[in-house]
Chains A and B, each alone.
Chain A
Amino acid sequence: MPLYRDEAVVLRTQKLGEADRIVTLLTRRHGRVRAVAKGVRRTGSKFGSRVEPFMHVDLQLHSANNENGSGLDIVTQAETLGPYGEAIAADYSRYTAGTAVLETAERLTAEEREPSLRLYLLVVGALRSLADGEHTPSLILDAFILRALAISGYEPVLSGCAVCGEPGPHRAFAVGSGGLVCRDHRPPGAAAATPDGIELMLALMSGDWANADGVEPKVQREASGLVATYLQWHLERGLRSLRFVERSLVERP
């Protein structure tokens, strides 16, 4: 398989040598792939603008198993499917939330070349939504994180107690136990959760935007805090981009 074709979202780019970049891709069929895009930092590059973060592209790649020695595939063609980069970079709140989406996707794909179609589709959806400006960027991020964790087998328990199943409402959220817990199963250090915060997380989980948009900033911050703590607990080390995400709502266009 010297040449292959796939659709992908560009998760990250790093400079390589004089004019090349290493691009980390989340592909539709081949999972997370790292590849070299040659000459993309120079004037007149055919596809420099298409292999930038947030871009949704149709790629042709040259497989590394074909004695080019670097161990990385090489991008030979790129066509734009969704030019989300421009609209995301033009709004700082979208940019910071979008970067956290990309980093979360990268971190949840532990192994290279392990296909995860559902995560791929979720990333594309989140980026499209950010670019369209449909909802508050930080809420799009929180919805993405909750669903991405669910796909990875870490869906937080938001109804009954995560330990004994006793029906709620419960007021304590324990990341180590997997979600809400009853009074009896509340470990020391569990976070407090309000009914509004829990309702918002449920709405984000199910894509119920009518009930998620317009929720008070205070409640949004509470849900964001719980989502972030829950995510970081499931990753070995913290997400770098999370502390830069803009949580305030003043910048809503």
Chain B
Amino acid sequence: MYEGPVQDLIDELGRLPGVGPKSAQRIAFFLLAADPVDVRRLIDALTEVKDKVKFCSICGNVAEDDQCRICRDERRDLTVICVVEEPKDVVAIERTREFRGRYHVLGGAISPIEGVGPDDLRIRELMMRLADGTVTELILATDPNLEGEATATYLARMVKEMGITVTRLASGLPVGGDLEYADEVTLGRAFEGRRAYSS
């Protein structure tokens, strides 16, 4: 336990994903010793991201306006939606240049043990996008790990009766891994070789 402000900083840092108490302490003391100019830059970047960056009202991707760059682009195919867990997965898939449709960002995966159920993700918003019949293919590109698979299973069941082709990225992706770590070639191939989802 440290003096007020230092402990407050350690507590705040410790709430970040992947940062344990020891790392939080290390980062806090790094910041304490750092040049004030560098710290100011970090503060500005944090303030800016919270002030300027919003989430796209259509797909949930990060956006500087009400809608993201991809949803505003009229050349994108309206009949295909690719479902991903996080905005960083959109970046990974865009890098492959294999996909010309639009996205839907769920904001995570269904994980009951962490208290995250279907209602905590942007699934209702997805169903609303599918309701008017424009979309003919739904690509489930949740992470190739257990929670990603279970989330895909749930979504496939939800749209079962809607007459939409549901596909899942082909295997070859690291099983147990995060989508964002797949290289462009592997991810591109997984897109090309996507298969109809059967359950």
Which A residues contact B (CB, under 8 angstroms)? 12-13, 15-19, 40-45, 47-54, 85-86, 88-92, 95-96, 99-100, 102-103, 240-241, 243-245, 251
Contact = CB atoms under 8 A, between A and B. Distances in A.
Contacts of A45: 174, 176-177
Given A48-B175, A92-B153, A19 B181 contact: yes
Contacts of B114: 240
A54 B181 CA distance: 23
A241 B149 contact: no
B170 interface: no
Q: Which of B20, B113, B182 has the most CB of A within 10 A?
A: B113
Given A90-B199, A92-B157, A96-B112, A44 B146 contact: no
Given A49-B175, A90-B199, A85 B18 contact: no
Nearest to B19: A17
B57 interface: no
B181 A240 contact: no
Given A43-B183, A53-B146, A95-B150, A48 B177 contact: yes
Contacts of B111: 99
Classify the interface of chain B: helix, strand, loop or mixed.
loop
Interface residues of B, number: 29
22 contacts: A12-B113, A15-B17, A42-B177, A44-B174, A45-B176, A48-B145, A48-B174, A49-B175, A52-B176, A53-B147, A54-B146, A89-B153, A91-B153, A91-B199, A95-B153, A96-B112, A102-B113, A240-B112, A240-B113, A240-B115, A244-B112, A251-B157
B29 interface: no
B112 A43 contact: no
B125 interface: no
A47 B177 CA distance: 10
Most buried by A among B115, B117, B153, B154: B153
